[in-house]
Structure 1
């Protein structure tokens, strides 16, 4: 269970510098989990369940190990998509198990069930949610959080949230989900990049009435210390198997949209979400790479063992990305314009990996806009009214400046 981790760093967006120059700063931010003095006494004598994965850390130690060492009675752990240790591929069913190191029972919330049952919680006094999120609507941790909140509220359990910074908190962008397109990768009327920590999102869930049957969850939030939304947070643990680089995490709000088109976006490589291409671009782009099968990450990637040509974003200027405060649409527009058979660009039939672009974007007009050759500015104008309304609503739930 013990893990050797690199020191967590805070990337700070210095507001007093021109061009939003980024600076690194060590040991400025303290996550909720790290502030044990603020919550350990509240757990004494209680039966505790964790909602956790490989990102639930205090320094070099997993939260489960830390609490057990301090005498906290952890009865069970609930694991989200990718499993408790974060080793399962995206969308892969995860099964219940017993943790080999501690003997604690692990119940999967990404298998037969998606939320704890009454029986799961009957021997629990309090749940603790501590999972690192990346701030995107289609990243399923917020779905798990809502389900945990609903079960906690329905069965009269308190939910403690150990908050963590959102590495994409600077970015509030994308179309608001049309609830007619509600799916497993989009369940809330929020933009692609929502600009909230998980604790702030939990407050929004309660405040906007997004729990079933009018339920409200009793929350106990342990905030991040020394944190604001102007800070970019460099993760010390991969939040999922295919978000394994700083560039991938910051590019994710933009490049995950390529899951809805007939292109490989780095699955089957060591740099997912930072390259995009396909065999059809041979002679158009000079950069190339070959996706291969990677058990636990990409068993059957699109264009497996074929040479793909396209865009290499691994060295893209992340400072430029942050300064823009926008999802990058130019890559999608460019790759569509150069795609030889445009009728197949959004074709889902060629591989199971390709998702529905409508569900990913949350907007049935997005595909039509790309096909019609609309400019980035023209597309963005259609987002503005609902996006501005969201930003106003969001302010009610902020815990940080």
Structure 2
């Protein structure tokens, strides 16, 4: 049972009320009626629902109430948390992109942490039998190739299999627009499992409804979900995350540039892995003399142990001061950088060679089709490339409407 005194509940409600939307300077805005309130911060809406239940939590370092990890706050309220399930990068965000993560015991709480990005991608029957309900509270960034939506689907399938309810504490999508080609399912992979565009324009809560509604879970199973919606959020809101969602998205600029720059994982061009400014720079050693800006990728444990062009100076562009608010407002993935770098690269036959990269892989898996590579090589204009995304993109936008929780 939850041993929750009125005093403790009032304290946590006051804490969540004091935490406003992060401003552009990184400071917290003064309390007002328009501030964003995440699902997790609305403890009065779900803590009573957890009374008497054995709880599992799919969480990581982004799972906060106010400025405190949600697991710590909920334990304070007496919530009976039995297991923590950690997605890619681990519970404490200390694993590199794609690195397997093992099970462990959280030294602070003594709770067992089960990795969902190691030998197992789903909880076992024994683990689920010890739970009554699972909470999903992980910050997503709204891209098809960002793996947390895969984890969501796998948890939903597991909850459906063992007749457990999934409570989703929703969070804003910092890239809330819809753009890119729909994934050709011939190129389905770990970085693209569903027929959606590059930026799907949905929060985790909305995406969960889409997974159920479109029958995309394995064998068309249905998961019993309850979503605690974000207050005062809209998809076009420019929202600054208070916590980095993963080791290589360590700045607001990297988060907003990610939908455009991650496509370069399917090329010979470095996106800054192996530096402390990943996904804000582009370059390669072969571009010396064409660009003045340079950077040197090195091995960075916990971020990128074996980055592309390791220990070689790369020449290219610095996008750290790029107008990311304007990019966000445009609602588009930037294709001009891909066009520019292909034109500048001297050995064109090597441009789409991603074999040296230990990160994402082929351009076909990233973009979601086998047309884009040829379009870039043939000098097709951005306008023509975008036209080739239809009518799939428009059909997706229409389908998406029925699952939206926010304007």
Query: Shorter-chain TM-score: what band?
Result: over 0.9
For residue 115 of structure 1, report the CA deviation from its aligned partner: 1.1
Moved more, 117-126 or 386-395: 117-126
**Are the aligned partners of 1:10 and 1:25 in contact in 2 as well (CA < 8 Å)?**
yes
Q: Judging changes above 3 Å, is the alpha-carbon distance between structure 1 residues 187 and 286 closer, same or farther for their aligned structure 2 residues?
A: same
Aligned to 1:9: 21
Q: Judging changes above 3 Å, is the alpha-carbon distance between structure 1 residues 7 and 38 closer, same or farther for their aligned structure 2 residues?
A: closer
1:185 corresponds to which of 191, 215, 218:
191
For residue 25 of structure 1, report the CA deviation from its aligned partner: 5.6
Matched, 1:150 2:162: no
2: CA distance, partners of 1:168 / 1:245: 14
1: CA distance, partners of 2:375 / 2:98: 28
Aligned to 1:62: 69
Aligned to 2:98: 91
Matched, 1:369 2:381: no
Deviations 1:23-74 (A, max 9, x none): x965500000000000000101110000000000001211110111000100
Deviations 1:61-106 (A, max 9, x none): 1111011100010000100000011110010000000000000000
Gaps of 5+ in 2: 1-17
Moved more, 344-353 or 293-302: 344-353
Matched, 1:349 2:355: yes
For residue 353 of structure 1, report the CA deviation from its aligned partner: 3.8
Aligned to 2:10: none
SS of the residue corresponding to residue 393 of structure 2 reads helix
For residue 351 of structure 1, report the CA deviation from its aligned partner: 4.1
For residue 11 of structure 1, report the CA deviation from its aligned partner: 6.5
Deviations 1:224-282 (A, max 9, x none): 11111121211111100000010100000000001000011110111101100011001
Q: CA RMSD in A?
A: 1.5
Aligned to 1:21: none
**Are the aligned partners of 2:20 and 2:29 in contact in 1 as well (CA < 8 Å)?**
no
Within 5 Å, which residues of 2 pair with 1:295-310? 295-310=301-316
Matched, 1:286 2:292: yes
SS of the residue corresponding to residue 121 of structure 1 reads helix
Within 5 Å, which residues of 2 pair with 1:101-180? 101-169=108-176, 171-180=177-186
Q: TM-score, normalised by structure 2?
A: 0.92
**Are the aligned partners of 2:210 and 2:403 in contact in 1 as well (CA < 8 Å)?**
yes
Aligned to 1:77: 84
Task: Report how many residues are paired.
Answer: 384
Q: Judging changes above 3 Å, is the alpha-carbon distance between structure 1 residues 254 and 235 closer, same or farther for their aligned structure 2 residues?
A: same
